Structure 1
Amino acid sequence: MRHVDAEQGAWFAETFDLLVAGVGQVVLGKERTVRTALMAMVAEGHLLLEDAPGTGKTSLAKALAACVQGTHSRIQFTPDLLPSDVTGVSVWDQGRGRFEFHRGPVFASVVLADEINRASPKTQSALLEVMEEGNVTVDGVSHPVGTPFMVIATQNPVEQAGTYRLPEAQLDRFLVRTSLGYPDRAATLEILAGARDRTGDLEPLVTTAALGEMSAIAGRVHVDTAVLDYVARLVEATREDPRTVLGVSVRGALALVRCARVWAASAGRGHVLPADVKDLVGPVLAHRLLLTPDAELDGVGAHDVVADVLERTPAPTVRLV
């Protein structure tokens, strides 16, 4: 496999920073979260934004879509939303004497699934199936959604009345879960001074072809055997922790490596460091854990378990042959 040279690394880092700055015009004071979200996009994964109302989840998703020169759509999830409202439906064309497939809003480069936990499990599954397979099957006919394809789902973890919690098996389909939190005072003052939605002012900063090239470059970032072993030991530690019923799957380990490659490339490097893995353990692995009832009663969270696992798992200091 051809590795990443210095010129490619510099272009990747410069383009990544350009996108961070573009999204940062809308989502103020949250550079770390913006970088994490963009990492998920370049890694060709899906993003789950989980936070309290009014923290800018939808604004972040809309800004990410606006910065990429592709199509985007927004689906407001409600209890009465049907799977066909997401994927599309076949309609009888009397003139042609046959069924014609009418594409749903899921056929877009970036799909914003707003308040995904408000729809029924059947509708959630319809979207999550497309996320995994990359196509919609209606009446036995497969319809590819195309590339790039990214779902950015939001959910409010505070108000659970009338919602349907995403099962752990479906949460595992999201490459990254992150949150925004409230802005600091300086960012709040700037938001109040603007007092309007700035996403409409954003222009596309990269083409979908450039985004694809970034993904290809990230895929060639070198990961030493010692770093792979470190990832393996981390996920094994989550499975062995007495506070977990279900630890991180192999899919989760692969996701961590994919994200670490993008994270390293965003710093202009052609190789992954253990520090890259440490930076991403929380957003990539925490939502894949299922805790025991006793741990939940004691107030232990998935991020607490991940932090403990990270602390007791030594990082590699030498390369493995």
Structure 2
Amino acid sequence: MNKLFAYAVRTVTLSLLVVAPAAASLGAPAAAGPACRRTAGPGEQTLTVPFAGVDYPVTVYVPAGARTTKRLPLVVNLHGTQSTGGNQLRYSDMASAADRDGFLVVAPSGNIPAAAGFAWNVPGVGTPPAGARDDVAFLAEVVTTAVRSLCGDPARVHGTGYSGGGRMISAFACARADLLAAIAPVAGLRAGRPDPLDPARVDPASCRPSRPVPVLTFHGEQDGTNPYQGGGSPYWQYSVAVARQRWAELNGCRDGARTVAVSAHVTRTSYRKCRGRADVTLYTVADGGHTWPGTPVDNGNGTVTREIDANALMWDFFQRHRH
């Protein structure tokens, strides 16, 4: 489990409660037309997202200096178990990256209570509580609302997440590849649920994306929560290498894995020549814990590498992909 970060949060609530028409409620974002005006100013805000009769507050961040009529790339950033969207924005240090690189951040919260925060309803993971929110459908509505209300570019919607949020964004990519240009989970890449007959393998029926999804991921070999070699919790079991290989299969990558050292403790394993340029890349941190590479926050879950910066690497990756 992740340790929850306690922060004093100052947010401004946007008057952006826009009820989507019936077609939009299915999760298809509006087309990127020339007309666009963002009413939210720069900084951290709270966007209201209506879903299944409930209004959910969603933490968002608008970069400094963004023109109100320019469509911007959008990064969905999902928190780990026992945390919240606001805490994830700070743990990942993504606001400063957004200001530097000019993208929107959308950081919703799960809805299953977990300690002082929440967990995600990840498809195929255990038995969710009665009445648990359908988080695949909810995230589709989050994307739709954020694209419309924040002047996002629907062709450049990307996803990341930490730990349980990494598992959730992986599952969302399996189910709604039509809404994502690329994903970059941290300490949580999955490619479907473990096979009930052989948990060290992936159940192939549990992840069948409608299109190839470019994947970048980061994982520490000393991760004690989601072990690099697999095992641990029932929802984890198969290794990070198996998840990486499965996404390469799903994306039809023709080149085998190529591993190179990028620093003293970090290697990069990549698959190239994939359908739709949907490459698959894993950064392995030899001494890394259950942590976000480059974050200034120590969450108490092991070593945080300073040899690479996950935010910089994922933004470079995201810029190369759109749909």
TM-score > 0.5, shorter chain as reference: no
Return the index of the structure with the highest Cα Rg. Answer: 1
Could you say which TM-score interval applies, normalised by the shorter chain? under 0.3
Greater length-normalized contact order (CA 8 Å, ≥ 6 residues apart): 1
- Higher relative strand content: 2
With normalisation by structure 2, the TM-score equals 0.25
With normalisation by structure 1, the TM-score equals 0.25
- Higher relative helix content: 1
